[in-house]
Amino acid sequence: MKKIILDTDPGCDDALAIVLAVKSKKLKIAAITTVAGNSTVENTTRNARYILELLKEKNIPIYSGATKPLKQDLVQAVVHDKSGLTEIRPENEEQLTNNAPEKIISLIADSPQKITLVAIGPLTNIAMAIKKNPQVMLKIKRIIIMGGALRVPGNKSRVAEFNFFVDPEAAKIVFDFPVKKILVPLDICNKIRLSVRDFKQIENKILREKLLKMIIPFSQNTRKNEGFTGIMMYDVLAVFSLLKPNFIKTKDYDIKIETKGKLTRGVSVPDLRTEGIKENNVTVIEQVDKREFRNYFINTLSK
């Protein structure tokens, strides 16, 4: 069973990713670590606890982390509304621990099994862990990252994807760190969407109704703000790639993160030149079997 730490900023699509990871029963989730991004760290932590409570999952610890990016103020998302989960507004205690980077380090250091980091929010926690203890962080198996836009427009600026736009300095630290990285960029995320009709096929009635309450406004907000119809499955694809690697296709790239450009801050820049020697640092997911994804997602959540 693959062992992971899920670093996240729920967020509707983050919530769906947590649900898929837990319901699959194929991942050993050592911890969920929360970060400010789609909403404040208070809200993202509260939302993570709400999702685990909805799933009746009591054995996964949650550790809260960074309250803001490394070098700038937090820019929150619009499409998830103020709470982070649109029409769902959890009122549970967020129970902040303020130690996610330290917990990431200790979990990796103490685990006899190599851990995969699944990073589906801004990369602040992971960058902080790298800065605090790079020797231990070199022991991770890989980092699966939802972020970046290579050949498509950004969804937060003209060119930058939200997670990298929020904390480009953190993204640069992670991309420059010499461990295996797998990237799930907007290029593939834009192609894999589900419909409300798909969600209505989920047979678990309680879960289905809660998710519909969340994702219908999310899809409406995404259409209004980003021009996309359907329900975007950004972060869910990161979890799916780990669960069903046979249904994805990848290609290696050399990618750098821009941190200073007035118009290009947060952009992920691939070297697309066909000549010359390149030191590829990221494996990019370029294709996903849409039918397999849809069927696996619906069937897994129906349990």
Shortest CA distance to 29 belongs to which of 58, 67, 64? 58
> Does residue 37 sit in helix, strand or coil?
coil
pLDDT of 156 above 80: yes
CATH number of the domain enclosing 178? 3.90.245.10
User: What pLDDT does 76 receive?
Assistant: 94
The total number of structural domains in the chain stands at 1
What's the whole-number average pLDDT of the chain?
A: 96
> Does residue 122 sit in helix, strand or coil?
coil
User: What pLDDT does 150 receive?
Assistant: 98
Of the CA atoms within 13 Å of residue 4, those in its CB half-sphere come to 26
**What is the model's pTM?**
0.97
Residue 202: domain span: 2-301
User: What pLDDT does 274 receive?
Assistant: 83
User: What pLDDT does 282 receive?
Assistant: 98
CA separation for the pair 101, 63 (Å, rounded): 9
Buried b (16+ CB within 10 A) or exposed e, 221-250: bbeeebebeebbbbbbbbbbbbbbeebbeb
User: What pLDDT does 277 receive?
Assistant: 78
Question: pLDDT digits over 42-80, tens only?
Answer: 999 999 999 999 999 999 999 999 999 999 999 999 999
CA separation for the pair 61, 31 (Å, rounded): 5
User: What pLDDT does 228 receive?
Assistant: 80
β strands within the chain, DSSP E? 2-8, 27-34, 62-64, 116-119, 142-146, 181-184, 193-194, 231-232, 248-253, 255-257, 268-270, 282-288
CA separation for the pair 43, 11 (Å, rounded): 9
Q: Which single residue is written with the structure tokens 């039918």?
A: 291
Mean pLDDT of the 156-174 span: 97
Shortest CA distance to 122 belongs to which of 187, 152, 77, 180? 77
Tell how far CA 265 is from the center of its chain: 20
User: What pLDDT does 224 receive?
Assistant: 83
Shortest CA distance to 157 belongs to which of 66, 262, 238, 13? 262
Task: Please name every residue paired with 295 in a beta bridge, in sequence order, or none if there are none.
Answer: none
Angle formed by the axes of helices 124-132 and 168-176, to 10°? 50
User: What pLDDT does 105 receive?
Assistant: 98
